[in-house]
């Protein structure tokens, strides 16, 4: 029966997906690099400011923080589809955001994409959660 289960991607496989995402510009050297868009390219400093403002109840920062949360959910969904596994290993988005925030506080010049990939890389080292029937 185990032979019928798809093999889970290794952290090396996740790194390959990451490299494919960030190295699009290398396809043709004579073309200008594409402009990357989205909240993943924003700095950790901006993210932690939004998180702090949201925690204090400021509506503008709460809305901004929600946009980071939505970006993370979409990004993780894409990684899950690309790798065929739950890259968060059952961890809730709220907990991942808290970990990204902690990492960003120590590295405010990092962008959210790289901070997220660092957290995902750590989570990918964990064993996947057991199926609900096996619990």
Average pLDDT over residues 54-65: 96
Average pLDDT over residues 10-33: 53
Q: Pick from 11, 38, 30: which is nearest to 120 by CA? A: 11
pLDDT at residue 12, as a whole number: 57
In Å, how far are 41, 53, 85, 98, 105 from 111, measured between CA atoms? 5, 19, 25, 15, 12
Give me the residue label for tokens 């010049």.
109
pLDDT at residue 26, as a whole number: 47
Question: Could you tell me if 82 and 103 are in contact, meaning their C-beta atoms sit under 8 angstroms apart?
Answer: no
Q: Where are the domains of the chain?
A: 38-126
The answer, yes or no, to whether residue 88 has pLDDT greater than 80, is yes
pLDDT at residue 70, as a whole number: 96
């Amino acid at each position: 029966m185990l032979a019928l289960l798809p093999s889970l991607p290794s952290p090396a496989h996740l790194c390959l997906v990451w490299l494919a995402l960030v190295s699009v510009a290398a396809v043709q050297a004579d073309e200008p690099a594409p402009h990357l868009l989205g909240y993943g390219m924003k700095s950790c400093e901006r993210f932690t400011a939004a998180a702090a403002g949201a925690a204090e109840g400021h509506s503008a920062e709460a809305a901004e923080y929600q946009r980071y949360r939505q970006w993370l959910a979409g990004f993780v969904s894409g990684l899950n589809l690309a790798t065929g596994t739950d890259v968060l290993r059952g961890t809730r988005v709220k907990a991942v955001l808290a970990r990204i925030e902690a990492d960003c506080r120590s590295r405010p010049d990092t962008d959210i994409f790289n901070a997220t990939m660092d957290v995902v890389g750590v989570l990918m080292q964990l064993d996947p959660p057991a199926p609900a029937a096996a619990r």
